[in-house]
């Protein structure tokens, strides 16, 4: 295959790094001399590409704890190709460690990444991320600068193992914790499962948000093939990191930038791949936010429209049975994309220098049970359904393959929780009036309300229903849910309750009608009653909970879920312009 993604007719301006290192005056002295403190000889500054390695390594983001070592392999490749690698740290976001939710800080990371890239004398960037919010934050920030960029991910953990069977990150936590509450698992066994679940470095090895996002990055052509699936501790990931270091130097030489790769068609390819792999609902938030940075017109409805014809092919938890190691050994994303090739734009340009079509030409599937054929899918329904109605004027979503088919059309009585604390206090009270036909409604968990839109939409069922053997109920909220979670869960209701959306005025006892086929979600009260309730709510609007700091900035400026929950002033791009001198 011949590499030919040099943009024809594009003029190539002087390298950004030379605007600092190529100067013979006092400013050039300052830029070079202090770098020489690290032992760099003169020829480092002779105009060769300077490659930033943007690292979210952190011991408190365990999923990214292997990235310090991965950076060393990227550097080998950069040196080999004649570039100069310079690693720098950015904010890291550990999904399982940060409160109130790592999502609150995704946009902060994006700002950090954007300004770190733009402010420094670098020509191209390698983004080292993995855990849920780290890759999206890096992509958003890098997109607003638009230098040549390539992603190298942490890679998934080894399959979880517990007492003779495979267990999946997150997915089995929800299952085990419900089993404990239903009296089917002991507390000691529950704790014993912890070390079996997370037994190597890497990201969650279910098709959670991290693996979803890395699959979408691979579908968009922003990384080398198999980046999403090679296990974190497999030596082939180190080799791929090395190769990515070589490729970024070529991308700088050919001036191939993020905007040349992430086009609207690449985003649509990603939406289709999300359906075929059974990806997380969080894909919606992150792709919308990325499109906003690139000023590509992507609408919430596009997720429904473009995933409608695609079945679920990948039998991975939470929608199916297997885990990321199985996925990689079965052929990974190239095998999936080959099977759905007729649905994809195969002319899309990728960072490998080959088109998507060329890249998957030789892909093979080695296990048709893990990666099914189109005529034998895991489920016919996949992707994301986008709902509208008087309860969600700006949309809501559901992942149909995570839901119970019987609940995809359901009318029931609302049982309302005003906040997550209200839910925790009352959910197990014997006097709570609730049965399996009820619809659990949770408020106050949107972007502004929590703040940060946490992954609490998959509320655990009340204990008395679990004890009766109830496994699923319809749940509605303005929250997100973990990519590892499952259930009949309607999420991302917009506008959120705390912004005065109709969700704010749902009362226990109201009837709610959900019709998945019709994509509708309605509160069965009259328009007049709805308007009266909203008027009353507005006259008693609750005061915001944060008065200073980043959280205040976030609450004041965050967009709703249907726009990807970016901060309003971060939408769009400022480019890679080198600003005035520092001294
Ligand atoms: Fe980090 Fe799942 S918690 S990838
Ligand atoms: Mg998550």
- pLDDT at position 2: 45
User: Residue of the nearest CA to atom 3 in ligand 1?
Assistant: 95
Name which CATH class applies to 388-545+554-561: alpha beta
Q: With respect to CATH, is domain 48-159+199-360 assigned 3.40.50.720? A: no
Q: Is 204 in the pocket of ligand 1 (CB under 6 A)?
A: yes
**Residue pair 55/68 in contact by the 8 Å Cβ criterion:** yes
Closest Cα to atom 1 of ligand 1: 131
Q: Which residues contact 190 (CB under 8 A, 6 or more apart)?
A: 176, 177, 180
Q: What is the pLDDT of residue 324?
A: 98
How confident is the prediction along the chain (583 residues), in pLDDT tens digits per residue?
445 445 555 556 789 999 999 999 999 999 999 999 999 999 999 999 999 999 999 999 999 999 999 999 999 999 999 999 999 999 999 999 999 999 999 999 999 999 999 999 999 999 999 999 999 999 999 999 999 999 999 999 999 999 999 999 999 999 999 999 989 999 999 999 999 999 999 999 999 999 999 999 999 999 999 999 999 999 999 999 999 999 999 999 999 999 999 999 999 999 999 999 999 999 999 999 999 999 999 999 999 999 999 999 999 999 999 999 999 999 999 999 999 999 999 999 999 999 999 999 999 999 999 999 999 999 987 999 999 999 999 999 999 989 999 999 999 999 999 999 999 999 999 999 999 999 999 999 999 999 999 999 999 999 999 999 999 999 999 999 998 888 999 999 999 999 999 999 999 999 999 999 999 999 999 999 999 999 999 999 988 889 999 999 999 999 999 999 999 999 999 999 999 999 9
The candidate with the shortest Cα–Cα distance to 480, out of 470, 469, 491, 494, is: 491
Spell 130-139 as b/e; 16+ CB within 10 A means b: bbbbbbbbbb
Pairing relation of β-strands 149-153 and 160-162?
A: unpaired
Residue 365 near residue 313 (C-beta atoms within 8 A): no
The ipTM (two decimal places) reads: 0.93
276 and 336 Cβ atoms separated by less than 8 Å? yes
CA 326 to chain centre: 21
Q: Tell me, using a 6 A CB cutoff, whether residue 202 lines ligand 1.
A: no
Alpha carbon distance 145, 161 (integer Å): 42
Q: Is the CB of 213 under 6 A from ligand 1?
A: no
* Residues 497, 498, 500, 501, Cα dihedral to 10°: -30
Residue nearest to atom 2 of ligand 1 (CA): 204
Whether the Cβ atoms of residue 203 and residue 155 lie closer than 8 Å to each other: yes
CA 485 to ligand 2 centroid distance, Å: 9
Which ligand 1 atom is at minimum distance from the Cα of 154?
4
Report the first-to-last Cα separation within the chain, whole angstroms.
Answer: 48
The stretches of 370-462 forming alpha helices (DSSP H) are 420-426
The residue to mutate among 204, 212, 217, 480, having the most atoms of ligand 1 within 8 angstroms of its beta carbon, is 204
Using CA atoms, how far apart are residues 185 and 189, in angstroms rounded to an integer?
7
Give me ligand 2 centre to Cα 445, in Å.
Answer: 15
435 Cα to the center of ligand 1, angstroms: 33
Ligand 2 centroid to Cα of residue 62, in Å, is 13
255: left (phi over 0), alpha (psi -120 to 50) or beta: left
Ligand nearest to the CA of 204: 1
Ligand nearest to the CA of 455: 2
Report CA(483)–ligand 2 centroid distance (Å): 6
The residue to mutate among 58, 201, 208, 279, having the most atoms of ligand 1 within 8 angstroms of its beta carbon, is 208
**96 alpha carbon, closest ligand:** 1
285 close to ligand 1 (CB < 6 Angstrom):
no
Indicate if the alpha-carbon torsion angle 282, 283, 286, 288 is positive or negative. Answer: negative
The residue with tokens 């734009």 is 345
Name the nearest CA neighbour of 86 among 119, 115, 56, 52.
52
Parallel, antiparallel or unpaired: strands 520-523 and 165-167: unpaired
Indicate if ligand 1 lies below 6 Å from the C-beta of 291: no
Which of 160, 203, 217 for mutating ligand 1's site (highest number of atoms within 8 Å of CB)?
Answer: 203
CA of 353 to the centre of ligand 1 (A): 30
Going from the Cα of 63 to the center of ligand 1, the distance in angstroms, rounded, reads 6
pLDDT at position 451:
97
CA atoms within 13 A on the CB side of 314: 37
Residue 157: asked if its preceding bond is cis (omega within 30°), the reply is no
Is the CB of residue 562 below 6 angstroms from any atom belonging to ligand 1? no
- Does ligand 1 lie within 6 Å of residue 96's CB atom? yes
Question: Which ligand 1 atom minimizes the distance to the CA of 211?
Answer: 4
What pLDDT, on a 0 to 100 scale, did the predictor assign at position 378?
96
Q: Tell me whether strands 489-490 and 474-477 are parallel, antiparallel or unpaired.
A: parallel
Note the pLDDT of residue 3: 52
Residue among 331, 277, 272 at smallest CA distance from 304: 272
CA of 252 to the centre of ligand 2 (A): 33
Q: How many CB atoms lie within 10 A of CB 418?
A: 15
Ligand 1: nearest atom to the Cα of 202: 4
Q: Specify the ligand 1 atom closest to the Cα of 64.
A: 1
Q: Is 95 in the pocket of ligand 1 (CB under 6 A)?
A: yes
Q: What is the pLDDT of residue 11?
A: 59
Boundaries of every domain in the chain: 48-159+199-360, 388-545+554-561
pLDDT in tens, 450-468: 999 999 999 999 999 999 9
Index of the ligand 1 atom closest to the CA of residue 130: 4
State residue 9's pLDDT score: 52
Q: Any idea which ligand is nearest the CA of 157?
A: 1
Would the CA dihedral through 355, 361, 367, 373 be positive or negative? positive
The CB density around residue 528, as the number of other CB atoms within 10 Å, is 8
Any ligand 1 atom below 6 A from CB of 232: no
Q: Give the containing element (helix H, strand E) for 188.
A: helix 187-197
């Amino acid at each position: 295959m011949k590499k030919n993604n040099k943009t024809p007719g594009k003029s190539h301006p002087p390298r950004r790094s030379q605007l600092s290192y190529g100067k013979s005056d006092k400013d050039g002295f300052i830029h070079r001399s202090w770098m020489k403190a690290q032992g760099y000889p003169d020829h480092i500054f002779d105009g060769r590409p300077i490659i930033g390695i943007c690292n979210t390594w952190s011991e408190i983001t365990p999923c990214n704890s292997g990235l310090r070592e991965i950076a060393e392999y990227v550097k080998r490749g950069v040196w080999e190709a004649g570039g100069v690698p310079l690693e720098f740290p950015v904010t890291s976001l550990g999904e399982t460690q940060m409160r109130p939710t790592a999502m609150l800080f995704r946009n902060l990371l994006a700002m950090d990444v954007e300004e770190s890239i733009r402010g420094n004398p670098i020509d191209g960037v390698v983004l080292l991320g993995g855990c849920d919010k780290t890759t999206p934050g890096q992509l958003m920030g890098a997109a607003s600068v638009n230098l040549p960029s390539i992603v190298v991910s942490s890679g998934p953990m080894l399959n979880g193992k517990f007492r003779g069977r495979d267990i999946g990150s997150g997915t089995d936590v929800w299952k085990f914790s419900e089993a404990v509450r239903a009296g089917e698992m002991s507390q000691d066994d529950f704790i014993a499962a912890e070390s079996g679940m997370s037994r190597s470095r890497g990201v969650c090895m279910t098709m959670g948000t991290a693996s979803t996002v890395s699959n979408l990055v691979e579908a968009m052509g922003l990384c080398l093939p198999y980046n999403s699936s090679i296990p974190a501790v497999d030596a082939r990931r180190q080799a791929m990191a090395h190769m990515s270091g070589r490729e970024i130097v070529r991308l700088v030489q050919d001036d191939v930038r993020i905007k040349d790769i992430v086009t609207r068609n690449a985003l649509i390819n990603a939406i289709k791949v999300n359906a075929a792999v059974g990806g997380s609902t969080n894909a919606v938030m992150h792709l919308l936010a990325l499109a906003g940075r690139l000023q590509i017109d992507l609408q919430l409805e596009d997720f429904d429209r473009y995933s409608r014809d695609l079945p679920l092919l990948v039998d991975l938890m939470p929608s199916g049975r297997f885990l990321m190691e199985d996925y990689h050994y079965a052929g990974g994303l190239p095998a999936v994309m080959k099977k759905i090739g007729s649905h994809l734009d195969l002319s899309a340009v990728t960072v490998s220098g080959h088109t998507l079509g060329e890249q998957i030409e030789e892909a093979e599937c080695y296990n048709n049970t893990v990666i099914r054929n189109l005529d034998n899918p895991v489920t016919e329904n996949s992707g994301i359904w986008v709902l509208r109605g008087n309860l969600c004027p700006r949309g809501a979503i559901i992942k149909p393959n995570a839901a119970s088919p019987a609940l995809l059309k359901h009318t029931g009585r609302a049982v309302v929780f005003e906040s997550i604390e209200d839910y925790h206090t009352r959910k197990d009270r014997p006097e709570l009036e609730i049965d399996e036909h009820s619809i659990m409604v949770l408020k106050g968990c949107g972007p502004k309300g929590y703040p940060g839109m946490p992954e609490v939409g998959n509320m655990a069922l009340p204990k008395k229903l679990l004890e009766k053997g109830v496994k699923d109920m319809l749940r509605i909220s303005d929250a997100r849910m973990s990519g590892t979670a499952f259930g009949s869960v309607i999420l991302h209701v917009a506008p959120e309750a705390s912004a005065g959306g109709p969700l704010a005025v749902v009362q226990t006892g109201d009837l709610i009608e959900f019709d998945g086929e019709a994509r509708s979600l309605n509160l069965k009260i009259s328009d007049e009653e709805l308007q009266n309730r909203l008027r009353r709510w507005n006259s008693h609007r609750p005061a915001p909970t944060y008065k200073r700091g980043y959280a205040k900035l976030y609450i004041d400026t965050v967009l709703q879920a249907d726009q990807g929950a970016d901060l309003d002033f971060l939408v769009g791009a400022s480019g890679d312009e080198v600003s005035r001198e520092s001294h």
